[in-house]
Structure 1
Amino acid sequence: MRVDASTAVSEGDSVIAGRDNVEFQVIKTHDNNNVSAVQGTRPYATTSFIAAIKACAGVSFQRKTAVIMTSTSLGAVYRACGASVQVNADFTIDQFACYVGNVPSIPIAQVLQEEGGVVCWTGQQLKFLRLDDLMKQTSVKRVDEDRTVDLQSSFLQRHEIPFFYSTDDSGNFAYGNRTKTRAAFYMPRQDARTLANMTKVLIMRKQLKSPYAPAINAGQVITVVDTPFAIVTAAHVYQTGSDGSGANAYSKFWLGGLQ
């Protein structure tokens, strides 16, 4: 963005952005002071910055105190870790622990893997969905002709997605999904349901470039021909061409299938 004395952005500032007017907290800035110009009588430079949704930002900072919870919900975990975001869909988790000096988003990601779930942003609220329920959503876009970029490698999948095993109270082994030969990871004190969830993941399958569609975001489903795919990442590009490079607007989606 263009910056002068009246529009400077600093770390910690709040910025309203996006079609839903979401408030973001700036966590990193990069000032390009050498790129200066004049618009009328106003000299300006440019800056870029990274910002997190302010209502969720608390889970991205190291904890001063520990958060340890049992038989709770992910919404309660977020609130305990400093987030104020509203949650419109949730599920129960057995236990959560984030110790002093740790970043809550890391154990949150671990809990999501153990429960076979994901976090989605709806524009104003968070929702937590299990992967099976994510794929059952109504498609927001249908592509009748496959014009995507295919991403396929069972070789990489077997290297990157392990199966998990544990032992029960009797000392017997408990296994997750081991139908394919994969790396094996031991997880203490986990049952077969959790072990199976941990190998259930979204595999990146396709890339789709489309006309500008800012209402379509990660966590929604796009159907390509007759197959539904979850949007893992959505990028929306809107270039006004004010710098002389020409106007350009499009959206790009990275689509995943449930493995």
Structure 2
Amino acid sequence: MQIVIAAANKLISASELMLATLRTDLVPVPVSLEFSVKANRELEEQLKPGAEILVGDISHPLEIVLVQPVKSQTIKDDRRIGAISCIAVLSGCKKLLTHAERAAILEQTSFNSAIRACGAKNIRLGDDLPLPEFICLKGRLPTARLALYLQQEAAVICFRSNKLCVLKLDALFKQEAVMKLDPSEVHWLNSGQKEKLQKSSYVSVEQDGSTVIGDDTATAGQAVIQKAGLDARQLKNLEKVLLPRGVLHRSLSMQLSAGMLVEINQTKYVILTAAHQVETGAVGGNVGSATKLWLASL
């Protein structure tokens, strides 16, 4: 996994990099990188909050949002080896991770406009969806508000072709699977009780207060939640959720990312999260690389 500090055009070498985990998820900020390097004066000056880095084949830079000095327990040349631990997200998304400095109230808008209204001015979506309204009051967390409206539209945000995209869940599963897997490769998560906790039914009340709308399809042990001010379309969308079905470990496969489909026994599953991890053994310990995938169904 190549990590380059953009401003200095410096490649962090294998002798400097200790551990790196690149994650893609189906969430409002869909790409993140956690990495640790051996501390030295050059890297301490270059790895600062706000610094941009380039990772692998991702052309969109990532911005460092957290830097934490670490004193390791490893001794070399009679000195304790120091480290720098960093977290980076897609450049331009930092504003979505901090509490809103002012309110954003939009009507007949889109997810692209909502994201920009929350302060992510440099982000433009590849695929977008209309949005009847969007409200994020001052002091609220934009990612939480975006997640709420994504759920109401039965949609997710993913990163593909080096762009943020908003996709309907139904459209997500109309894609072609990128690979076929044997069921024995997957650690299946078979828990009926957990599934009931992860899925709910939703109801609402018409403006005149006389009619309850929405499908009360809850089974035993499944919650029925009242949501004010939503129409029947939005209530139906709320019941479309991605349920985790299994976890898969495989050799490092950087080409796999969240939002792609895999096929197992003629059934399509979406990659909910893809985590690619590299350990260099730069200060001793394990050496290796692997990819972990979380699979989900609709």
Taking structure 1 as the reference length, what is the TM-score of the superposition?
0.91
Q: Does 1:143 align with 2:181?
A: yes
Partner AA of 1:2 in structure 2:
K
Between the aligned partners of 1:18 and 1:80, the Cα distance in structure 2 is: 30
* Higher relative contact order structure (alpha carbons within 8 Å, sequence separation ≥ 6): 2
Partners of 1:149 and 1:190 in 2: how far apart?
A: 38
Corresponding residue number in structure 2 for 1:240: 280
The reply to whether residue 153 of structure 1 matches residue 191 of structure 2 is yes
Q: Secondary structure at the match of 2:207?
A: coil
Structure 1 position 22, deviation (Å): 3.6
- Cα gap change, 1:22/1:66 in structure 2, threshold over 3 Å: closer, same or farther? same
Alignment of 1:37-48 (within 5 A): 45-48=82-85
Q: Provide the residue aligned with 1:60 in structure 2.
A: 97
Residue of structure 2 equivalent to 1:88: 126
> Distance in 2 between the 1:17 and 1:7 partners?
16
| 1:160 Cα deviation from its structure 2 partner | 3.1
Distance 1:147 1:33 in 2: 38
Mapped partners of 1:177, 1:127: distance in 2: 32
> Does the aligned pair in 2 maintain the 1:176–1:193 contact within 8 Å?
no
Match of 1:75 among 109, 112, 122: 112
One-letter identity of the residue aligned with 1:195:
L
Secondary structure at the counterpart of residue 6 of structure 1:
helix
Q: How far did residue 13 of structure 1 move? A: 2.7
- The unaligned stretches of length 5 or more in structure 2 are 1-36
Return the letter of the residue paired with 1:33. K
1:91-139 deviations in whole A, cap 9, x for unaligned? 1111100011111111110000101000001152100011111111111
CA RMSD, Structure 1 to Structure 2 (Å): 2.2
Query: Which residue identity does 2:113 align to in structure 1?
Result: A
Q: CA deviation at 1:144?
A: 4.1
- Single out whichever of 240-249 and 113-122 deviates more from structure 2: 240-249
1:6-27 Cα shifts (integer Å, max 9, x gaps): 0112333322223314422222
Separation in 2, partners of 1:35, 1:229: 42
Q: Distance in 2 between matches of 1:232 and 1:177?
A: 27
Between the aligned partners of 2:224 and 2:117, the Cα distance in structure 1 is 33
Partners in 2 of 1:37 and 1:21 — Cα distance?
37
Alignment pair present for 1:2 and 2:42: no
In structure 2, relative to structure 1, the CA distance for the partners of 1:61 and 1:37 (3 Å cut) is same
TM-fit CA distance, 1:68: 0.5
Cα distance in structure 2, aligned partners of 1:34 and 1:166: 54
Structure 2 residue 164 is matched with structure 1 residue 164: no
Matched residue, 1:26: 64
- Give the distance between the partners of 1:21 and 1:46, measured in 2 at CA: 27
**CA 71–51 in structure 1, closer or farther in 2 if over 3 Å, else same:** same
CA distance in 1, matches of 2:59, 2:285: 27
1:173 to 212, 229, 246: 212
Q: CA deviation at 1:238?
A: 1.9
Residue deviations 1:136-161, cap 9 Å, x none?
11111211454210001121222332
C-alpha separation between the residues in 2 aligned to 1:44 and 1:244? 11
2:224 equivalent to 1:184: yes
Amino acid of the residue matched to residue 211 of structure 2?
A: N
Distance 2:40 2:59 in 1: 23
Aligned-pair identity (%) = 25
Partners of 1:177 and 1:121 in 2: how far apart?
A: 34
Residues 145, 188 of structure 1: alpha-carbon distance in 2 compared, 3 angstrom cutoff:
closer
Task: Give the residue type in structure 2 aligned to 1:233.
Answer: T
**CA distance in structure 1 between the partners assigned to 2:173 and 2:167 by the alignment:** 10
Partner amino acid for 2:199? I
The yes-or-no answer on 1:51 pairing with 2:91 is no
Match of 2:244 in 1: 204
8 Å contact from structure 1 (residues 146, 225) kept in 2: no
Distance 2:86 2:216 in 1: 42
* 1:74/1:126 CA distance change after superposition, 3 Å: same
Cα distance in structure 2, aligned partners of 1:177 and 1:197:
13
240-249 vs 4-13, which deviates more? Answer: 240-249
Give distance in 1, aligned partners of 2:76 and 2:195: 52
SS of the residue corresponding to residue 42 of structure 2 reads: coil
**TM-score normalised to structure 2 length:** 0.79
SS at match of 1:89: coil
C-alpha separation in 2, matches of 1:47 and 1:176: 52
